[in-house]
Structures are given as structure tokens and as C-alpha cells.
Structure 1
Amino acid sequence: MLRKKTLEILTLREGSWAIESAADDLEIAQKAALQFLGKPGVMGVRVLKESVGDIGNPAPGDILFEKLRSTGGADRIAVGEPSSLAPVCEDIEDLFHGGGRTTVNRLFRAYLDKNTVTATEVMHNAREMKRIMDFESMLPSAISKVAQMQSRSEDSPTMGERQNTLFGFADRLNKRAKQAESLDLPSLANVEINEAIHQINKKSNGEAPGYLFRVAASRELINVRNWWGKFAMSVDWAGACKSDPALANLDWFISDALSNASVLQDLLGDQDSLADALISLIEIADGVRSIDTEKAQDATSTEATAAKINGLFKASKLPESKLAVMERVCRQLQGSGALTKDGAEEPKVFREMLLRLIPGTELTGGPEMAEAITHRQSHIINKGGEGGLKAATASVLPALRDPGRKAGYLLSLIESDLGKDLLKDEIEQHLNGLFMTPESVHQIVRTGAPNKKMEKITSIFYRIQKSNLPDSRKAQLTQHLDELLASYVVDGKILDRLDDPNKPLHIRAFMLVSMCQPEMLPDGKASKLAREIIVKHLRRPNFETELVAQVPDEAKKEKILRDFHVQLHRSGFFN
């Protein structure tokens, strides 16, 4: 019986070749070799026929596959670094949107920029997918970086297991793109976007229509070899698109284009300072950027495209594109570049930016922006290292003034890498000082009408509830806030003033129910006090008759009763 031939997989380390593994099949051997190429210190891989001679000097015919790492140089395209917040994708679908695609963009940014192609195009076009898989050792290096990061915790898969999964994703993406190559899909350049979507939906034949739509879009965009052209074409499609699922897919293409610096530069135009540029980027993401309407009349102008995306952002149609813009703001803010030409103006300008970045309990840009704010503040106060970052955190808080904004900053920061590690204890101390130490609502919110103070504390209560703090810590903070609200209601005799018998019953009833609205008081001790009074009224035998007894107009009586039931329902009385 003939013995089955074995293929030897070799790695090149420090100038020497060594047998690393073996396989019976060439395709399996090539995949294994590429995985080895992604490991630190491996500068090349080979697949050889079963060797009987010197593996360091094989005959040319014995080398079945070989790939060497680039040794560097000015033109070398490096693999980027994945964010520690990168999600652990469980399926190839996870790579197409959200954090999965953001990670792909980060890893292959240099390659994508140089080749004028987007991540979404690559994942839906077999030719581009093959190019990136064959380019030096970039794919295995990228997979190695992600696998290493995602295998650090004890309950995570091993690095090898994660590498196998990610290489499997790449193979499945490639296979799916190859299968889509032969499909007869409408040309988005020649068929109106909504008609094209209709035709694609009819031709899905077992494949997801969204995937086929992205394949069709990629076919057009892959031939546009300038970034602004890709961006403008995608925005034109999005502006005309009437299908929400297709628009969500177009958001991915637009987001990819906005990850390229030149597109943002074209959108921004000339800026006097980094601060002006960052503020303009925030305005773009919010859809409130001022556009020259006269220039926008020219459909081919930059202003026309800017006006279209302005409207899409304002209507909240492009959530992932907004994240891409804010990610750029985050990276620039975290850097050491001066915000203004006049260094003395830097603190003032930064405070103005904080108003836009932290308008309330939510921080625009999330944990990464909170980290960027902290780093920027450390530059401003000119303190480095761990002590500088702690001092920066402490000095950001007074600049925010409002307790809701302070909560938004701290609770976002504690979700960042910096907050989870270096600043964790510092942040916990600040949270205690802001929300555990105070013995009254007045000590947290010093100015404003009673209803505004209660609304502010309630907004902080909800922000804590939705944070990533441990449940026990959330309970500790929210229970204390609820007790402060209850004391505030009782000590201030707020309910007594609202339920004044000298006022018409319908006015008293609406004011009491307003106290149980979710934005006024959270479900807890304070709202329970108001609910008890309302329930007492509702149990009166002729309550509804008495409620509108002092209203002479019959139509108005009916409206008051309807509105009152709506408010009761909104306050949870019918749940």
C-alpha cells in the first residue's frame, strides 16, 4: 500500500527555516502557513513536498507555496491596531456593520486608503477580497492582532481557536463574494435606486436582499477610484432611497468613505484652527452645518453633497456615519496638536467644545470620547503620566458645572480602557462625592425651580441605571438619589402645595400626575408618595364627575378627561 504524501509547513525565524507542522492537502497547508505568518517573529512561510534533503535550500520544484513578510520601507502598508472595545464577532454578518466593520476599517486603513477602496466594497467583491488576502502577510497579521486581543481573558477561546474562527470568516466572505459574481443584478448607475432595490428583492432567491444590494452597490463604487466620488455617489443614492433597510446598508458605504481623511477635509474646507475643524465636524454629525445654498444649487458641487448629507444627518438616517465622524473628532481631540493658534485661548475653547460634546447626561462619542477629553485636559494642564490623567479628570468636572453633565462624563469614562484600569478608583471617588455624600437635592442641584431639580436628579438616576457599573453599585447610587428625592418632596411640602383644595380638582389632578411622569421622578419612594395621593382621588365614587365639575364647556370636559387618562397611562397607572 502506498504511503500518503505529507506536505511540510515551514516558518522562517531569524533567518532560519524550521518545520512547524504538516498536512496532507495543499489548500489546508496554505491556510495553516498563513496563520503561522501572523505570529510574532515569523518572517516567512513555505509549504514543501515531503523533504529528504536540506529544508533550508530546497529545489525550486519542491516549493509548493511561499510567502514572505515585507521588511519595511517607505511604501510599506502596515496593519492598524484594533480597539480594545472591538466586539467579538460570532458570524460573518457581524463584520458588515457596527463595531465589526469599524475594526476592519481600523486594521486595513492604510491599505484601503492607498487602494481607494472601502471595507464594505472589499467584503462584497471577490476580486478585491482576493487582492487583500494575497497582499503580503497583511491578513494573517491583522487576524493575529485581533485573536491575541480577544483571547486574553480566562473564559475566552485560545488565540489559536480565535485565529481559526477568523480565518474561517475570511474564507466564507470570499466564497460568498465569488458566488455573487455571476448574479445578474441591476446597475445602480443606470437604474433608479428604488427600482433597482425592487428588482434585487425579486431576485434574492435564497440570498439576503441586503447582501445582494451591497454587492450591486460595490460593483459601481469599485470603479470609482477617488474618495470624494465614492462618497458623493453613495450620498446621492441615500438621498433618493425610500427603503429603510437599503438606506441602512448605504449608511455603511458612507461611513466607510467618511473614515478617509480626504473626504472629511473636502467636507470641511479650509479651517482656521483644529478647534474650528472639530466643531465643524460635530456640526456635520448633528446635521446643523451651515451650507452655502447658492453654491449648493450646482448638483455636482461639494456644497450640494454637503447639503444632502446635512439633511440625512439631521433626520438621524445615518447613525454609523455619524459614529465615523465622531471617531475622527475623538482621535484628533486626544492628540497633542494645539486647538488654537493662541495657546492662551486653549482652555476657553476646550470648555466651549465640552458644551457640545457633553450637553447632558449622554456624552457624544461615548467612552472613547470621554478618554479623549481626559487626555486633552492633561495636555492643557500640562501634567503627564498617571498623576496627570487623575488631575485632568478632577479638573474637567468643575468646567462641566451641571451635575448631569458630570455624571455623563464620569459614567462614560469608567467604560473606557482608561476608566476600567488606571482611573477606576478615582472615578468611583468622584461619583461618591457628587451623588453619595450630598444629604439633600439642593447640594447636588443648587439652582432652579423644584420641578427642574427633580428632573435633573431623575435624569442622573436613569443614566446610572443604564451604565456599565456593577448592579450593586448602581443600586447604591440610585437608592440614595431616590431617598434624597423623597425627602425633598416631603420637606418641601411639594405634594401639599400641588393638592391645594383651593385649586380646581382637574388642575390639582394634572399637577399630581405630572409628578409621576418618568422624566420627573423615577419609580421609587418619591413617586410612590405622589401615587398614593392620586390613587386616593381615583377611588372617590364620583371622581371623574368631580374632576370636570368646574369646567363649563362640554367639549373641554371631554378633552380634559381624555388627556387625563393619557397621562395616567403614561405614568404607569394602567400597567
Structure 2
Amino acid sequence: MFGRSNAVFEILSLRDGSWSIVATATSKDEGQAEALKVMSRAGTEGVRVIKDTGKSIHDLKPEDILFEKLKPKGEEKVFIQNIDDAPLCYEVSDFYEGEGRLTINRLFRTYLDKNNITASEALHSAREMKRLLDDGTLIFSAVAKVSTFQAAKLEDTNANERRETLFAFVDHINAAAQKTLQRPMPRIRDAGFNEAVAELKASLKDGEDRGYLIRSAIATELVENRSYLGKLAQTVDWAVICDDPDAMLDLDIFISDIMQNAEVLKDMLGHQRDTGSALVAMICFSSGEPLGEEPENLTPEHPDYTNIQLCKLIAAGKLPETQAVLVDRVRRQVESISPLSKGDREEEREVFQGLLHKLIPDGHVVGGPDMAEAVTARQSTIINKGGQKGMKEAAASMLPALADPARKAAYLLTLLESKLGKDLLRSDIDSHLDAMLVGTPTLNHLVREKLPPNKKMAKVTQIFNRIKESALPEPRKEELTGRIDDLLASYIVDGKILDKIDKSDKPLHIRAFMLVSMVQPEMLPKGKASNLARQIIVNHLKRPNFEAELVSQIPDPQDQANTLRRFHEQLNRCGFFG
């Protein structure tokens, strides 16, 4: 990123009719040079260089603009975007799936935005498919790029053969769209969404793909709406009332495609002070966390109605593809070299710390191995060290930044599943795990926070379970989980945890429930540590008249019965009954 001296200049980019900050510079000349580079990017309609005065970029006056260049209307040429990889597609249906459409969205971003359509509309609408095919070289260029990547992954074919296969798939997609024109199709706008879906289900013929026909019906409506925000409002309205789970999956496909448009994302996130803040907001939104308070009486007329309903749908787990697209957008921005903040290197570091709290909140990494690799790449930028050595130092310096042992373990074990982790950082990850787990003398050295014993043990058990689920070889898993079990057992014995729980001055039912809580799967894993508590429980269970003693200090008979029932449920959950 550009450093900050006495004066900072901001480079603005005009895309889809909206200005946004894309870079900073320390001098006007440097800013102008950078602006001209930005001007050459696809989709950029204009650039500006302004002095950073703390004023909103939407409230600028002519004297605030030090340099400006706009492209004349019609100058922007539509071409295929660059990509660095492409998934294999073995059959036509792969084009309609998540990874296939994601690649199409990236390749054809300029074309799609210019024509205000989504990838799924182009795939399902005969009219849009014909327009794309008539465009000339776009399809050919896209197929050429993809075939090169795919051929490199296949041993029994070359790029030319792969190109022929892909063109055959394109012909099939076009034929399917043309065939749908010959079939009577309900109009959603006339019949209503649920009614149109029901009509399609009732009229299905042998060999017809129900999902494809529903998506065709959706595409027919959306291609007539040449606003991405309008498309989003329409699809979200349908999703709110949708009562067919399969049709909801089809709506998710279109909504996820719509979310690829920059204008929609800006509208969704609202004004953010910098890229880092925008990414935090996007992560929150992708997890279904509202970005603001919902009005008491929310109506479709409210300006945030669509965003609020979209967030609710994501929170309910009804839009997994949309959620994945938002997380992937965050990942690509994190691993890029664009600055997260407008300030100096220290501010950049602080913004990244805030981002990490959202990306690695506890024992998992949002976005999985690809995100773990992305944050490592970003860390290498922050410490300003490149190459393989830079990546190794970045991974090492990530650990102090994460602080919490469960977060450290989540990062290391998730990174292990990435290409970077498998290839370059494999031995480094092993060394970091050894230092954190094998080299620690006690559990209190591993978890230094002043936590209650139950929370401390639960945190370490979370690491234990994450190791069991990891990509580590089995002998290595046994080594590390065995060490964790030893630490837990020593902590229980040295801290006299069980003695404090099973004190005779406490009512037996309270002691019993506390002991059983100790052997819950989330508290202690099966092993030495949990066996210490299990043995005490077994000894209690063997006592004559144990159940009568258990509830003897509970006066109400109904409460006694409920307590016995809950206690047996807990015992069963912990495996005492087989």
C-alpha cells in the first residue's frame, strides 16, 4: 500500500456510475500515475485524484478534485476478464453449478454488467444466449482460456481437444434454451411465483428437468428488468414467499449471481470508511448478521427492505450459494494487494486485526482453506516480505496476532488443507503445532486467559476435536490429541477439579449434574481426563438407592421425576448406556 507522509492523496474510480476509493498516494504526481493505471482496468469509466481532507467523496467540490479523466461514452470495449484457474466440467450441468457459474461471472463480468444481466439469465434465456453468441469473439476467447486450464489438469487430452468439448457444451446449452421457447411456460408475473412453480411441476414430461424449467421461468422475468437492484428486489420478494424448497435453491442461484455486481454490493453495505470496514460488513452480512436495526413496522416501501429480507434469508440458511459468493468476494479482496485502510502501515495492521476477528472467530476459519491462504498472503503484504520466505514468516507472525489457542489451531489446521499449506508450509505448520501443544508444560500455559475451569477445558477440547477432524496423518493426530488429553488430566488432578465438584456438603443432584457435565463431548474428549470423572460417576451409580438419594433433597414429586429424566438423558448422551 502507499505510505502516509504529510499529505495523502486518494485515487477514486468511477464504476457503474459510482465513485469509490481504490488507492492512495503520497504526492499528486504519484496519484496521477496510479490513476492512469486504474483507468486502464476493465469497467472503469473514470478516475480522479483528490486531497484527503476527511470529507466524504460524495460531497466533493470542484476545487477538491486535483485530476480527473473520464472515458467518452462508447469507448469501453467489452472483453473477457483474466482468471487464474478454472474448474473441470465433465458435463453440461457443471456450467449451471456454483463453481461453473462463478467462473462465467468472472470471465464475462464486463459483458454482463454492460448488458445488466446475470450469468444464469444468459444460460437460460434463448434471446440472451443468441446475443452472446452473436457478439463474435467473446465465447471463443472464454473457451480458449478455460480449455488451457482444464487441459493442464487432465492427462488424456490437450487444449484443442478440450476446446472442442467446451464448444459442444455451449451448443447444448443454446439448444436447451431454444427448446424451452417451444414449450408452454407459465409467466410468474401473471400466475404468481408459487403458482407458476406448481404449474410447472404438474406439467412435467418425461426427461424434462424441473429445476432447469423453473430457472428458465425466472430468467424470462428477470431479463426484462435491466437493473441489478431491481432484479435483487424481485428475487428476494419471491424468496420471502417461496414455499417450495427446490425452487428456493433455484432462486438462490440467481441471487448469488446478482451479488457479483459491484453496484448491488455497494447498496447492500452502505457507506464504509475503507475497504477493511466494507469486508467486515460483508462477513457479517454473509453470516446473516444485520448491518443495522430493523424498523418496527417493516414494509416493502422501506429503503432497506430488500437488504433486511435478504439478510434474514441468509440467517435462516436458505441461501447457501449467495453466502458462499459473499465469502469468496471477501477472500479475493483479502488476498489482493489493495490496501484495507486509507492510513499508514500501522493502521493497515489494526484494520487487518479487526478483520481476523471476524474471519477466525474461534475454532473455525470462515471460507475454509482458501481463506486461510488468503489471510497468510495479506499478512505477507503487511510485514512487507515476499516470496517463499515471506510466506513462512507471514504464517509464523499470524499466530501472535490470533492470540487465542483455539484460533491458532483453527488457522494452522485449515491452512494445512490449502495448496500453500500442503506444499510450502507443511513442515512449518508441524513445528508451530509442536511449539503450541507438545512444548507447553501445562494447560494453563496453553490457555493463559483467566477463565473458569469448565470454559478452559472446553476451549482445549475444541482444539482436540479440530485435530481429530483435520487432514493430519493418523499417527500425528494421535500424538497431538494424546498430548492434549495428558494436559487435561493433569489440570484436573493438580487443580483438584473433581474434588471441588464432588464435595459432600452439596446436594447430590447438583454434584451429579456437575460431574456429568464434565464428560459431555464438548467439555472433555474421551480419554484419561474424562475417565477420571466417569469413574466417580460410575461409583455413584453403583450405590444402593442412588436414584432415591439423588432426588431426596427435592421436595416436589414432579420436580423429582423431571430431575431423574434429565439426569438419564445426560447419562445417555455421554454414552453410559452403551
Q: TM-score, normalised by structure 2?
A: 0.79
1:68-87 matches, cutoff 5 A: 75-81=77-83, 83=85, 86=87
Give the alignment of 1:158-557 within 5 angstroms.
158-159=157-158, 166-167=166-167, 169-206=169-206, 207-291=208-292, 299=300, 302-343=303-344, 344-447=346-449, 448-557=451-560
Deviation at 1:128, TM superposition (A): 3.1
CA distance in 1, matches of 2:479, 2:182: 60
Taking structure 1 as reference, are residues 376 and 555 closer, same or farther at Cα in structure 2, changes over 3 Å only?
same
Letter in 2 for 1:369: M
- Amino acid of the residue matched to residue 368 of structure 2? G
Alpha-carbon contact 2:501-2:511 (below 8 Å) kept: yes
Deviation at 1:216, TM superposition (A): 0.8
Counterpart residue type for residue 434 of structure 1:
M
Gap change, CA 1:224 and 1:157, over 3 Å in 2: farther
Deviations 1:134-182 (A, max 9, x none): 65454455445445445556x8654467656655544443343333332
What is the CA distance between 1:224 and its match in structure 2?
A: 1.8
CA distance in 2, matches of 1:330, 1:94: 23
Counterpart residue number, 1:3 = none
Kindly tell me: are residues 548 and 182 of structure 1, through their superposed partners in 2, closer, same or farther at Cα, counting changes over 3 Å?
Answer: same
Corresponding letter in the other structure for 1:184:
P
Change (3 A) 1:420 1:137: farther
Structure 1 residues 129 and 350: CA distance shift in structure 2, 3 A: same
Residues 90 and 451 (structure 1), Cα distance of their counterparts in 2 relative to 1, 3 Å cut: farther
SS of equivalent residue, structure 2 residue 480: helix
**Pair 1:350–1:134, CA change in 2 (3 A):** same
Q: Is the 8 A contact 1:568 1:574 kept in 2?
A: yes
Q: How far is 1:445 from its partner?
A: 0.9
Deviations 1:227-246 (A, max 9, x none): 22222211111122222222
Cα distance change of structure 1 residues 217 and 380 upon mapping to structure 2, 3 Å threshold: same
Q: Once the two structures are superposed, what CA deviation does each residue of 1:195-237 show, in whole Å capped at 9, x if it has no partner?
A: 2222222122333433221111111112222222222211111
CA shift at 1:548, angstroms?
Answer: 1.6
Structure 2 partner of 1:31: none
Alignment map for 1:562-573 (pairs within 5 Å): 562-573=565-576
Q: CA deviation at 1:478?
A: 2.3
Could you say if the C-alpha distance between residues 232 and 508 of structure 1 is closer, same or farther in structure 2, counting changes exceeding 3 Å? same
Identity between Structure 1 and Structure 2 (%): 47
Task: Give deviations 1:492-532, integer Å, cap 9, x for gaps.
Answer: 33333333344332222211211221111123332233333
Structure 1 residues 40-79: aligned runs within 5 Å: 75-79=77-81
Contact kept, 8 Å, 2:78 with 2:111, in 1: the verdict is: no
Higher mean Cα deviation, 93-102 or 268-277? 93-102
Alpha-carbon distance in 1 for matches of 2:304, 2:497: 54
Contact (CA 8 Å) 1:94, 1:100: kept in 2 or not?
Answer: yes
Q: 1:284 to 1:439 in 2, by over 3 A?
A: same
- Structure-2 change in CA distance of 1:572 and 1:82 (3 Å): farther
Cα deviation for residue 132 of structure 1 reads: 4.0
* Runs of 4+ off more than 6 Å: none
1:61-86 deviation line (CA, Å, top 9, x unaligned): xxxxxxxxxxxx962512442547x4
SS in 2 for 1:259: coil
**Alignment check: 8 A CA contact 2:123 2:173 kept:** yes
- 1:519-571: per-residue Cα shift (whole Å, max 9, x none)? 11123332233333333433445332232223221011111011112212222
Amino acid at match of 2:369: P
TM-score of the superposition, structure 1-length normalised?
A: 0.79
Judged with a 3 Å threshold, the aligned counterparts in structure 2 of structure 1 residues 475 and 124 are, in CA distance, closer, same or farther, namely farther
Equivalent residue for 1:33?
none
Deviation for aligned residue 1:265: 1.6
Name the structure 1 match of 2:110.
Answer: 110
Q: Which has the higher contact order (CA 8 A, sep 6+)?
A: 2
| Structure 2 letter corresponding to 1:195 | E
Structure 1 counterpart of 2:264, which letter?
A: V
SS of structure 1 residue aligned to 2:472: coil
Partner SS, residue 431 of structure 2: helix
Q: Take 2:326 and 2:93, find their aligned partners in 1: how far apart are those partners?
A: 23
Tell me the amino acid that sits aligned with residue 389 of structure 1. Answer: M
User: What is the distance in 2 between the residues matched to 1:296 and 1:106?
Assistant: 39
In structure 2, C-alpha distance between the alignment counterparts of 1:364 and 1:376, rounded to whole Å: 15
Residues 129 and 386 of structure 1, relative CA distance in 2, 3 Å threshold: same
2:393 counterpart SS class: helix
Decide which structure has the larger Cα Rg and report it: 1
- Are the equivalent residues in 1 in contact too, given 2:80–2:141 (CA < 8 A)? no
For residue 458 of structure 1, report the CA deviation from its aligned partner. 1.1
- Separation in structure 1 between the aligned mates of residue 361 and residue 205 of structure 2, nearest angstrom: 48
Q: Distance in 1 between matches of 2:164 and 2:534?
A: 58
The 3 A distance-change label for structure 1 pair 515 and 163 is farther
Query: Using the alignment, how far apart are the partners of 2:473 and 2:135 within structure 1?
Result: 44
SS at match of 1:190: helix
C-alpha distance in 2 between matches for 1:142 and 1:407: 40
Look up the SS of the partner of 1:388 in the other structure.
Answer: helix
| Residue matched to 2:22 | none
Change (3 A) 1:498 1:195: same
Report the Cα distance in structure 1 between the residues aligned to 2:162 and 2:260, rounded to whole angstroms: 27
Query: CA separation in 1, counterparts of 2:350 and 2:520?
Result: 38
Take 1:540 and 1:262, find their aligned partners in 2: how far apart are those partners?
A: 70
- Deviation at 1:288? 3.0
Partners of 1:531 and 1:164 lie apart in 2 by 65
Distance, in Å, in 1 between the alignment partners of 2:174 and 2:439 is 58
**Structure 1 gap segments, 5+ residues each:** 1-72
**2:541 and 2:293 mapped to 1: Cα distance?**
58
The CA distance in 2 between the partners of 1:445 and 1:120, in whole Å, is 49
Q: Matched residues in 2 for 1:268 and 1:296: separation?
A: 22
* Structure 1 position 398, deviation (Å): 0.9
Shift of 1:387: 2.4
Give deviations 1:245-266, integer Å, cap 9, x for gaps: 2222211111111011121122
